[in-house]
Structure 1
Amino acid sequence: MADARTGSTAARIALYALLVVVGALVAAAGALVQAAWFPGGLVLALAGAVGLFWTGTRLMGGRGGVGAPAAGWLITVVLLTASRPEGDFVFGAGIGSYVFLVGGMAGAVICATIGGFAQPGGPAARLGK
């Protein structure tokens, strides 16, 4: 599987920027879908977010790849939770909104901490033995 470790620094930065933008798009779409088709929309929105986080991790070849889409996702979700002067906001006060917010953050943490990556510059076995 080819990943971004073999590319140039400019390509890695561009890929990180793309992951931030896609994370923002997934958050906006998930915010709309999770309330529209409850509970199936909530599952779909969380699956899309976790799928993006996992893809970013695999694409970048390490745990740092989850940070870019998670940052875009989190910033967008926080901006969408703020009420506007007109009184409109995207998230309601239902349980689905809270599950989406906490579930998305938990999914990002799980994708960042899950194992399966070789240590840099060394064998896949544990070092120090």
Structure 2
Amino acid sequence: MYDVDNNFTYHSPTAGQVAKFAAIRSKGKELAELLLESCPDSRERSSALSRIEEAIFWANASIARHPDPVARHWAHTTLDPRSAAPRLGDPNEPLPGNHQDRVFASDELPDDTDDQSGE
């Protein structure tokens, strides 16, 4: 099924995804350089180089659009300023102590409205 919402949404890369994107681009560049050295300047070479770019684009899009469960979990990681070590857990849970410095995904910004439930 075609997921129009997912396919037309910006996907902020995680650290692991950035490394994968770079590895794919590096291998694509390596192949493009081989073609530039080996193939005569022609329509066919231009077409081959364009297909390398397209392959890199779609490979990276697949990573961005379909992150693995571990990457999704790390997207909700906060840093404990006392230890500077990642702390996994609920992104809405406050940090221990009085530390309220947090990192939020853009769609997870805290709601500043007053709670009307009376709790």
- Tell me which protein shows more strand as a share of its residues: 2
Query: What TM-score do you get using the length of structure 2 for normalisation?
Result: 0.35
Query: What TM-score do you get using the length of structure 1 for normalisation?
Result: 0.33
The structure whose RCO (Cα within 8 Å, separation 6+) is larger is 1
- Tell me which protein shows more helix as a share of its residues: 1
Please identify the structure whose Cα radius of gyration is greater. 2
